[in-house]
């Protein structure tokens, strides 16, 4: 079968290789991949790929071999999945606990845009707690996670302010019901909850805008700049603020994937796909994602799938 593997080259980060199909473990289904969606974290890993790296955590396709232990969907079932790796290929072995069945109304391209960003958004909002009537600040809101957080939080009754770099990236967030600003300094607090993903100087600034007794959830550092906090500056800021570190990872993912699928089917969640291309265009698409030339998710179709 064909698989995309890292090259270590910035201009052409992946290339095709002919490899044997994966051999599933007893609790894994073999999925014929129809579509996959890269994530920014995977793009960073491609800058200096470790030996044996097989990218691909967000896939949608068709089960062609059911799990030997009898768990999960049967042959011929359309699914969306979140394997640990290996999804940028014609076939992927996916644990059945990290699969969800797709209805006919959701195509593979939209489904592939759901897993990592959607699961992150769901779990992040659970960490934040009930948001009805609460003021929320979301930084780094222009990516896939930001889109899903915005739609879900506004739908839950939050008064959400989203920080995004440019007016173009903010248009869709405003349509979803967010108040949009283009730098953290412009956000008018205080906020009950801050969801912070940029790091660097933005986190201390966002922290200063938390309501006394409020919560800051730190879930990323897309600026790639480490955070420095000054204890004495905190003394003059809001009191009793809780800072929580958050990372989405932790299988099983199947129930969260099923929730995301249900929300899309009910027209309550709308994946933002900025580009759909054949997987022969993966290398160029990865470069465009790295350079932020694509708004929303990019989805690659495998073997002419639609």
pLDDT tens-digit readout, 31-81: 999 999 999 889 989 989 999 999 999 999 999 999 999 999 999 999 999
Lowest mean pLDDT among 63-77, 187-201, 219-233, 268-282: 219-233
Residue among 93, 85, 82 at smallest CA distance from 122: 82
Q: Is the pLDDT of residue 261 over 80?
A: yes
In this structure, whether the domain defined by 2-114+271-301 belongs to CATH 3.90.180.10 is answered with: yes
Residue 77: predicted pLDDT: 98
pLDDT tens-digit readout, 88-132: 999 999 999 999 999 999 999 999 999 999 999 999 999 999 999
Element (DSSP H or E) covering residue 99: strand 99-101
In this structure, whether the domain defined by 121-245 belongs to CATH 3.90.180.10 is answered with: yes
Residue 306: predicted pLDDT: 45
Residue 240: predicted pLDDT: 85
Q: Tell me the longest C-alpha to C-alpha distance in the chain.
A: 61
Residue 304: predicted pLDDT: 62
Q: Is the pLDDT of residue 222 over 50?
A: yes
Lowest mean pLDDT among 180-194, 238-252, 262-276: 238-252
Return mean pLDDT, the chain. 94
Write out the residue limits of the CATH 3.90.180.10 domain(s) in the chain: 2-114+271-301, 121-245
How far is it, in rounded angstroms, from Cα 188 to Cα 291? Answer: 30
- In a 10 Å sphere around its CB, with 0-12 CB exposed, 13-18 middle and 19+ buried, how is residue 226 labelled? exposed
Q: Is 157 helix (H, G, I), strand (E, B) or coil?
A: coil
Residue 219: predicted pLDDT: 94
How far is it, in rounded angstroms, from Cα 140 to Cα 197? Answer: 6
Contact call for residues 98 and 80 (beta carbons, < 8 A): no
């Amino acid at each position: 079968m064909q698989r995309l593997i890292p090259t270590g080259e910035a201009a052409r980060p992946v290339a095709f290789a002919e490899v044997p199909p994966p051999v599933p473990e007893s609790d894994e289904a073999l999925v014929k991949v129809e579509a996959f969606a890269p994530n920014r974290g995977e793009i960073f890993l491609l800058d200096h790929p470790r030996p044996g790296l097989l990218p691909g955590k967000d896939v949608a396709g068709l089960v062609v071999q059911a799990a030997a232990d009898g768990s999960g969907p049967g042959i011929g079932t359309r699914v969306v999945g979140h394997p640990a790796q290996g999804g940028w290929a014609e076939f992927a072995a996916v644990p059945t606990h990290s699969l969800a069945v797709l209805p006919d109304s959701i195509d593979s391209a939209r489904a592939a845009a759901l897993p990592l960003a959607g699961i992150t958004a769901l779990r992040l909002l659970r960490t934040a707690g009930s948001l009805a009537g609460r003021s929320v600040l979301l930084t780094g809101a222009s990516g896939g996670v930001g889109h899903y957080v915005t739609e879900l939080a506004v739908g839950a009754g939050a008064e959400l302010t989203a920080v995004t770099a440019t007016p173009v990236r903010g248009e869709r967030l405003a349509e979803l019901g967010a108040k949009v600003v283009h730098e953290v300094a412009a956000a008018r607090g205080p906020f009950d909850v801050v969801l912070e993903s940029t790091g660097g100087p933005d986190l201390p600034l966002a922290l200063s805008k938390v309501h006394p007794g409020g919560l800051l959830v730190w879930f990323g550092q897309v600026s790639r700049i480490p955070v420095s906090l000054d204890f004495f500056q905190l003394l003059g800021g809001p009191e009793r603020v809780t800072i929580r570190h958050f990372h989405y990872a932790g299988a099983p993912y199947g129930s969260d994937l099923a929730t995301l699928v249900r929300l899309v089917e009910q027209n309550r969640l709308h994946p933002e796909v900025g580009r759909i291309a054949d997987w022969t265009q993966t290398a160029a698409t990865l470069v465009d994602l790295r350079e932020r030339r694509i708004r929303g998710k990019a989805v690659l179709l495998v073997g002419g799938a639609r």
